[in-house]
Amino acid sequence: MTPTIDLELILYITALGLISIGLAGVVLSQHLFRMVLALVIAEAGANLMLVLAGYRWDAVAPILTSLGEHPQMVDPVPQAMVLTAIVIGVGIQALAVSILIRIRQRFGTLDRHEVAAHMDAEIAQIAGTSRDMSQESPLGERPLPPLPGTPAASREGRS
Amino acid sequence: MRNLTGLLFAGGLGFMLLSIASGLDFGAPPMLVGEAIQSVAPQETGATNIVTSVVLGYRGIDTLGELSILFAAAAAAGLVLGRRHTTAGTLTEGGFVLRYGGAMLFPLLMTIGFYIIFHGHLTPGGGFQGGVILAAAFFLPLLARPGARLHHGMLSMIEGFAGSSFILIGLVALAEGEAFLQPMLIQDTLGQLVSAGTLPLLYLAVGLKVGAELAGLLSHLAQTESEA
Amino acid sequence: MTEIELWIAALLSLTVLSAAVLVLLVKNHIAAVAAASVVSLGLALLFVLMRAPDVAMTEAAIGAGLSSLILALALRRLGLWQIDGVKSRQNLIKAINGVERDA
């Protein structure tokens, strides 16, 4: 086992760890601003993964230093993709942050559950229904369960 | 309970990705497109930085799409933030060091930004990096003097001019009978400052557009009133 | 590829991963933004090790610089800009109360 394989392993673990930590943050965080930060981390991990996909351990950077000779170079295509992905990422981040500012101006809080409750209340008020909806007891009629034993084709033909 | 589920989800995802990645070939990926581009890029585009020739030459229309996405994001952020309120009266002016340091850094940052943009086809760097430095140069005085205002009409002018010139260079290539955004005017002097034909012009357009967009976005974000 | 590069990469990876965990765990929002900036900076150094100087420059300028600036400005606008949370707010409340009492 040469040291180069170890370097690749370290970088892969870093990239996958960043993606996992970012997604865990998105799932677990209660605060919306923390959620944006977690998304930034996940995006950084994805960028590292993409650059890693074009990495060769025996190559040089994709810049020609002298005419005539052609040394092994790392793959320039993923690098170009990551270059644009980083710039797009900061644009999306600014958009998310400005939406957060509006949410705070509207509801006065950034807690995930409180904002969700406020939004539910507003939607219910506009729709004119009571907002006490839950997964277990929905307001409307339950859809009929499919009849057991009937093949799908005959059901379609009946309706 | 919910935290446990989330942690299990993240751990399982990491394990799954790791087990998929362990099947990959470490350190020697197949790069058919990359090798083909490397062998012909210096002759076809005249740029020694092969990443630049990929960004502007082989995937130029991709870069155009990226600029559109950035424009859409900046416009949407401006739309969401809404009308500006001036905060000039409520914020205190920066101190002596901050004000004059900002004023002294402005020309230095401009020089570095344009240097990075103009050498994008020779050395690492280019329109995106230089554009960000230009945006920082224009935003720095705003931090020192909260009352100061960026000229938003001017910024929109620069942005529109840069974006349309990017498309115009592509259309000129189309009129010459080549593909859209095909690099032209390739001289035979690889490694010179004036060598890669239209690529430095395209990168200048990208840099001006990115810089103007981000400077406008930053000043918009800085000048929005905090409390409703 | 030498031994020293391997050690540098291992150290940077450790820094990046621990900073990423810190972003989610630390209470203060300014510290969280700073930790996210550390993640980007370490990533930029890793990109240099991976022979991607273009990407490293972009990440250093945008990820570590501009993105932190945007997040910090947003913190000020979101009213989360507190250096040491509870204490400064109490001082503010005390000051406001004092002003009201005087008036």
Residue spans per domain, chain C: 3-102
Q: Mean pLDDT across the stretch B39-59?
A: 82
pLDDT above 90: residue C49: no
Confidence of residue C21 (pLDDT cuts 50, 70, 90): very high
Asked if C77 and B132 come within 8 Å (Cβ–Cβ), the reply is: no
Q: Mean pLDDT across the stretch A15-33?
A: 89
Residue among B157, B161, B117, B119 nearest B137 (CA): B117
Asked if C63 and A44 come within 8 Å (Cβ–Cβ), the reply is: yes
Residue B119 tokens, joined? 């050498």
CB-nearest to C58 from B49, B129, B218 is B129
First to last CA, chain C: 72
pLDDT digits (tens, 9 = 90+) for C81-98: 777 655 555 666 666 665
Highest mean pLDDT among A37-41, A129-133, B96-100, C84-88: A37-41
Q: Where are the domains of chain A?
A: 8-58+75-130
Asked if C54 and B227 come within 8 Å (Cβ–Cβ), the reply is: no
List chain A residues with CB under 8 Å of C2. Answer: 3
Report CA torsion sign: C97, C98, C99, C103. Answer: positive
Asked if B27 and A5 come within 8 Å (Cβ–Cβ), the reply is: yes
- Between CA A71 and CA A69 the distance in angstroms is 6
**pLDDT value, residue B205:** 92
Please check whether residue B224 touches C, CB under 8 A.
Answer: yes
CB-nearest to B51 from C54, C74, C78 is C54
- Between CA C82 and CA B72 the distance in angstroms is 32
Asked if A24 and B7 come within 8 Å (Cβ–Cβ), the reply is: yes
Residue C55 tokens, joined? 């990407």
A8-58+75-130 folds as Helix Hairpins (1.10.287)
- Between CA B158 and CA B164 the distance in angstroms is 10
When comparing pLDDT for A10 and C16, which is higher? Answer: C16
Residue A66 tokens, joined? 């002298």
In this structure, chain C runs to a length of 103
The interface predicted TM-score of the complex, written ipTM, equals 0.82
Please check whether residue A44 touches C, CB under 8 A.
Answer: yes
Task: Give CA separation, B161 vs A157, B69, B72, C44, in Å.
Answer: 60, 17, 16, 32
Asked if C54 and B226 come within 8 Å (Cβ–Cβ), the reply is: no
> Dihedrals φ, ψ of A64, to 5°?
-75, 120
Confidence of residue B191 (pLDDT cuts 50, 70, 90): low
- Between CA C99 and CA C93 the distance in angstroms is 10
> Dihedrals φ, ψ of A73, to 5°?
-120, 155
**pLDDT value, residue A1:** 45
Q: Where are the domains of chain B?
A: 45-74+96-222
Identify the DSSP state of A155.
H
**pLDDT value, residue A124:** 87
pLDDT digits (tens, 9 = 90+) for C52-81: 889 999 999 998 889 998 998 888 888 777
Confidence of residue B181 (pLDDT cuts 50, 70, 90): confident
Residues 6+ apart with CB under 8 A from A99: B80
| Choice among B54-63, B116-125, B185-194, C43-52 with the minimum mean pLDDT | B185-194
- Between CA B9 and CA B1 the distance in angstroms is 12
**pLDDT value, residue C80:** 76
Please check whether residue C67 touches A, CB under 8 A.
Answer: yes
Q: Mean pLDDT across the stretch A125-151?
A: 65
**pLDDT value, residue A77:** 87
Q: Mean pLDDT across the stretch A45-55?
A: 88
H helices of A54-111, where?
A: 76-107
Cα C95–chain centre separation: 30
pLDDT above 80: residue C102: no
Residues 6+ apart with CB under 8 A from B66: A84, A87, A88
CB-nearest to A20 from B14, B49, B190 is B14
CB-nearest to C54 from B124, B133, B218 is B124
Considering only alpha carbons, which residue of chain A is nearest residue C80?
A: A33
Q: How many Å lie between the alpha carbon of B96 and the closest alpha carbon of chain A? A: 31
Neighbouring C-beta atoms of residue A158, cutoff 10 Å: 8
- Between CA B221 and CA C74 the distance in angstroms is 7
